[in-house]
Amino acid sequence: MVDQEEKGKRKKMKNTTLLIMAAGIGSRFGGGIKQLEPVGLHNEIIMDYSIHDAIEAGFNKIIFVIRKDIEADFRERIGNRVEAICKKLNVETAYAFQDLNNVPGVVPEGRIKPWGTGQAVLSAKELIHEPFAVINADDYYGKEAFRQLHDWLVLNHADNAIAMAGFILKNTLSDNGGVTRGVCKVAEGHTHITDVVETSNIIKTEDGAEADGRKLDPESYVSMNFWGFPAKEGCAPAYLDVLEQGFKEFFENDVKANPLKAEYLLPTHIGGLLRDGKYTVKVLETKDKWFGVTYKEDKEAVVQSFKKLIEDDVYREELYSDL
């Protein structure tokens, strides 16, 4: 819950943006747009809780990255409602559209798959003029991660600094199938990561986790695509130009090699910058348990998890009433 003093502080703080990547087709969910599935007591979707937690932490601008073909559904299901709430709270909202054809080259014939999270962020480049954080639309991150990222973003940092909400692998697995996570190597002292490798098909096992038969440390840090990028006062974040240059290189190299399936992913791009010594990534550890709807079978557990958070007074039943 937020008291009046906290609300006052929030208004005086530096501008910060939350970019929500909601353009995914939901390929693992088996039909339907998984980001728009209701999970709360009053038909709230997972994104509602992220937006609530972001505003409570101090973010004052929300950008939705969606596809043009889901815009009507999206606005009806959440966009219009959230815009009205944000207006009352002096929080700006904006939309950006991820488009298969918005690329630095020619779209390969037969390409249907979206270009990935790197392109999703680039689609909002012209709207971002302040420090910003990025999240997936269909993941629940918990309040601690939003507080930590926001508090890091309002400080001054070098242009080549990034922050990441560091989740513990065992807290991010699905009971219903494999998941994709950015598995991190951590420097001594556990404050920064030295590498991040996008790892798919991670499954829960009796003694931890594995990916394609290879054991993984269940205590390792993983990226859940919750990243923070700083910016100098009145400037766009420097990372956006680096990301754009990387997209051109991706098109020249990866797309040539795998025209129908190559994806430009944030953890892969950031991992490359780390290995080249060009960027640093600060880990902001969170002990919160992730949950999300990767598979249709996950949904009931997520509904019960939110019910429990409301019973435990983490959230009000009328979600936004405490802001």
The predicted structure's pLDDT at residue 302:
94
User: Mean of the pLDDT values across residues 87-116?
Assistant: 96
pLDDT (mean) for 258-281:
95
What is the mean predicted confidence (pLDDT) over 306-323?
A: 96
- Model pTM? 0.93
139-165 pLDDT per residue, tens: 999 999 999 999 999 999 999 999 999
Which helix (H) or strand (E) covers residue 182, if one does?
A: strand 179-186
Over residues 157-175, mean pLDDT: 95
Please report which confidence band the pLDDT of residue 103 belongs to, taking 50, 70 and 90 as the band edges: very high
Quick: pLDDT tens for 177-202.
999 999 999 987 779 999 999 899 99
Alpha carbon distance 76, 88 (integer Å): 19
Give the chain's domain count: 1
Angle at 59 between CA 293 and CA 50, to 5 degrees: 15
DSSP string, 98-133: --TT-SSSPPPTT--S---HHHHHHTTGGG--S-EE
Looking at the predicted structure, is the pLDDT value of residue 7 above 60? no
Q: What are the C-alpha distances in Å from 284 to residues 82, 148, 153, 312?
A: 28, 7, 12, 25
Reported as a pLDDT band with limits 50, 70 and 90, residue 11 is very low
Strand, helix or coil for residue 185: strand
pLDDT of residue 72: 87
Between 242 and 9, residue with greater pLDDT? 242
Q: 199 by DSSP, 3-state: which?
A: strand
pLDDT, tens only, 32-68: 666 778 899 999 999 999 999 999 999 999 999 999 9
What is the model's pLDDT at position 27?
46
User: Is residue 31 pLDDT above 80, yes or no?
Assistant: no
Predicted local distance difference test score (pLDDT) of residue 2: 52
At residue 73, the pLDDT reads 84
Domain membership flag for residue 134 = yes
Return the pLDDT at 3: 54
Residue 1 has a pLDDT of 52
What angle separates helix 266-275 from helix 239-252, to the nearest 10 degrees? Answer: 100
| H or E element at residue 293 | none
Residue of 119, 125, 159 lying closest to 247 (CA atoms): 119
Q: Say if 102 falls within a structural domain.
A: yes
Is the pLDDT score of 225 beyond 70?
yes
- 245 belongs to a structural domain: yes
| CATH at residue 270 | 3.90.550.10
Mean pLDDT, to the nearest integer, of 108-112?
95
Q: How far is CA 180 from its chain centroid?
A: 13
Q: Between 143-153 and 46-57, two packed helices, what is the crossing angle to 10 degrees?
A: 40
User: Distance between CA atoms of 34 and 299, rounded to whole angstroms?
Assistant: 10
Supply the range of the domain harboring residue 98.
17-25+35-322
pLDDT band of 246, cuts 50, 70, 90: very high
Examine residue 3 and state whether it is found in any structural domain, yes or no. Answer: no
Give domain status of residue 2, yes or no. no
Q: Would you say residue 195 lies in a domain?
A: yes
Q: What is the pLDDT averaged over residues 288-313?
A: 91
Cα(98)–Cα(13) distance, rounded to whole angstroms? 30
Helices (H), the chain: 4-12, 46-57, 71-74, 80-88, 117-122, 143-153, 239-252, 254-257, 266-275, 299-311
- The reply to whether 194 falls in a domain is yes
Q: Render the burial of 215-224: b for 16+ CB within 10 Å, e for the rest.
A: ebebebbbbb
Q: Across the strands, what pairs with 282?
A: 163, 192
**Does residue 5 sit within a domain?**
no
pLDDT bucket at 209, cuts 50 / 70 / 90: very high
